[in-house]
Amino acid sequence: MQNHRQVLVVGAGPVGLTAALALRRLGLPATVLEAEREGRPRPGSRAIYIHRATLKHLEEIFPRLGFTFAEHGLVWPVKRTLFRGKEVYVKKYHPPNPQELPPFSSLPQNVIERLLYQACCDTGVEFVWNTPIKDAKTDESGVTLTAESGDVWTGDYVIAADGARSAVRKAVGIEMEGPRSNDFFLVVDVKEDEENPLPLERVFHYQHPVVGGRNVLSVPFAGGWRIDLQLLDGDDPQEYGGVDGVKKWLPKVMDPKYAERITWVSTYQFYQVVAKSFTDDHRRLLLVGEAAHLFAPFGARGLNSGVPDAVLSARGIHAALHAEDTAAAQQAIQAAAEERRIAAQWNRDCAGIALEHIQGSSPYMNMKRELASSLSPIVPKLGRWLDEGPYGPRFGPPELSTKY
């Protein structure tokens, strides 16, 4: 069976859903092809931190969506940074103004996807489930996608949001470039005790003394906590990962009751890669989200860069469809692809800087961290440097240049 749509989106994760919403905001039809079934289980909290800039993008493509994210998430009122058990920085946030978007919202990804999906349904996005794509080809007239079922889908343009193992990207021969981290990391989710919850504080420990000098990050989100343990060289991930392994060290860094409230454990190494191009040779395809880039999670740059990828891709396709000629249409797609690729390279580099800041073992970096810790009581900006280091540089990537 062959089906034609003006614009196809591959992947119903948060970035693909955002792309579909952005297309509808521009008056374009949107059909989402998703490999898995409708209502498929989505384990773990995964992306939990939504920047204000991302909330603004969501608000632009679907009025009140940014505020809905804020209502379903939380803003922790305090963040603390410690170095070898000594507090070196604390910041208290003002209570959010309900009339304004908060500085961030912390909520699990399954809630993020549910809210985006509902907005897509409200705007008439078409969904086709159980449709994994196995091949993709582009030419001057459009894109042809072949599903594993044998069904063929054609589109004038395609937004590929099919994740880190993107079948679409591989099919059209676009390679990723960049290194993979040598460090192992553990991410643990625990369910909050609603009757006796912990104080809502984001806490980062450099070289936590009770777990052998390993870094520990604790982040609250709506309904639970994310605990990130960064392993040292030579650590066996199997020893620390898995529920049994986590139960050995988790009670050392938070209330022991949470060892019985574990809901998800993930052990992984980070890629720091960006696609060599975010579009194909014929300028009919745009890569977004993890189909286009993979970063270490410091600074929450994954989903928070995937959303502007999706928004700008929709704008580029809108411009291409209304272009006067083929050359102008190709230029619109190329401009969107290049702007987001520059942003992805910047985010990759920033995440690398953050990784070196918190995990680097060079004598120079060790000296900087120790000096900043010892002098932070009399030079507060050094404590702030320690606090902001895990996020990497905050300014520099290009802004979305194309307006509605």
Measure the CA–CA gap between 312 and 332, rounded to whole angstroms. 10
**Cβ 227 vs Cβ 251: under 8 Å:** no
Do 116 and 137 fall into the same domain?
yes
Q: Is residue 297 part of a domain?
A: yes
Share the mean pLDDT of the chain: 92
Residue 52's pLDDT is what? 94
The residue-averaged pLDDT of 237-260 equals 92
The model's pLDDT over 99-130, given as tens digits with 9 standing for 90+, comes to: 999 999 999 999 999 999 999 999 999 999 99
Q: Is residue 26 part of a domain?
A: yes
Do 117 and 255 fall into the same domain?
no
**Under DSSP, is residue 313 helix (H, G, I), strand (E, B) or coil?**
helix
Crossing angle for the helix pair 65-72 and 109-122, to the nearest 10 degrees: 150
Structure tokens at 302: 């994954």
Is a pLDDT exceeding 90 seen at residue 389? no
Strand partners, 213: none
**Cβ 302 vs Cβ 323: under 8 Å:** no
Cα separation values, 184 from 172, 296, 304, 358, Å: 31, 11, 23, 13
Beta strand pairing call for 152-160 and 285-287 = parallel
Q: What is the CATH number of the domain that holds 148?
A: 3.50.50.60
DSSP 83-143: ETTEEEEEEEPPPPPTTS--SEEE--HHHHHHHHHHHHHHTT-EEE-S--EEEEEEETTEE
Do 26 and 109 fall into the same domain?
yes
Residue 354's pLDDT is what? 83
Q: Which residues contact 9 (CB under 8 A, 6 or more apart)?
A: 16, 19, 20, 23, 30, 31, 32, 33, 158, 159, 161
Do 252 and 281 fall into the same domain?
no
Structure tokens at 364: 């120079």
Lowest mean pLDDT across 17-21, 233-237, 330-334: 233-237
**Cβ 201 vs Cβ 78: under 8 Å:** yes
Write down which residue in 253, 268, 283 finishes a domain. 268
Amino acid at 204: F
Structure tokens at 11: 């992947």
Is a pLDDT exceeding 70 seen at residue 1? no
The model's pLDDT over 370-381, given as tens digits with 9 standing for 90+, comes to: 999 999 999 999
Q: Is residue 12 part of a domain?
A: yes
Do 263 and 303 fall into the same domain?
no
**Cβ 192 vs Cβ 243: under 8 Å:** no
Write down which residue in 252, 268, 284 finishes a domain. 268
Do 228 and 348 fall into the same domain?
no
Do 153 and 208 fall into the same domain?
no
**Cβ 55 vs Cβ 107: under 8 Å:** no
**Within 13 Å, how many C-alpha atoms sit on residue 402's CB side?**
25
Is a pLDDT exceeding 60 seen at residue 402? no
Q: Is residue 393 part of a domain?
A: no
Structure tokens at 128: 């086709």
Q: How many domains does the chain have?
A: 2
Q: Is residue 93 part of a domain?
A: no
Percentage of the chain beyond pLDDT 70 is: 97
Q: Is residue 81 part of a domain?
A: no
The residue-averaged pLDDT of 261-287 equals 93
Residue 396's pLDDT is what? 53
Measure the CA–CA gap between 328 and 77, rounded to whole angstroms. 49
The residue-averaged pLDDT of 131-143 equals 97
The side-by-side arrangement of strands in the sheet containing 214-221 is 86-92, 78-83, 201-208, 214-221, 224-230, 185-191, 262-268
Do 114 and 253 fall into the same domain?
no
Q: Positive or negative, the Cα torsion across 93, 70, 76, 389?
A: negative
pLDDT confidence bin for 403, thresholds 50/70/90: very low
Amino acid at 83: F
* Higher per-residue pLDDT: 96 or 150: 150
Tell if the pTM clears 0.85, that is, is over it: yes
The residue-averaged pLDDT of 9-33 equals 98
The model's pLDDT over 295-351, given as tens digits with 9 standing for 90+, comes to: 877 778 889 999 999 999 999 999 999 999 999 999 999 999 999 999 999 988 888
Do 261 and 330 fall into the same domain?
no
Structure tokens at 268: 């992984």
| Host domain of residue 53 | 2-74+102-178+272-354
Which among 177, 176, 204 is positioned nearest to 78, based on CA atoms? Answer: 204
Amino acid at 180: R
Write down which residue in 204, 239, 268 finishes a domain. 268
Q: Is residue 359 part of a domain?
A: no
The residue-averaged pLDDT of 269-295 equals 94
Do 151 and 290 fall into the same domain?
yes
Q: Is residue 395 part of a domain?
A: no
Do 57 and 136 fall into the same domain?
yes
The model's pLDDT over 167-220, given as tens digits with 9 standing for 90+, comes to: 999 999 999 998 877 777 899 999 999 999 999 999 999 999 999 999 999 999
Residue 67's pLDDT is what? 97
Do 172 and 115 fall into the same domain?
yes
Structure tokens at 24: 């509808």
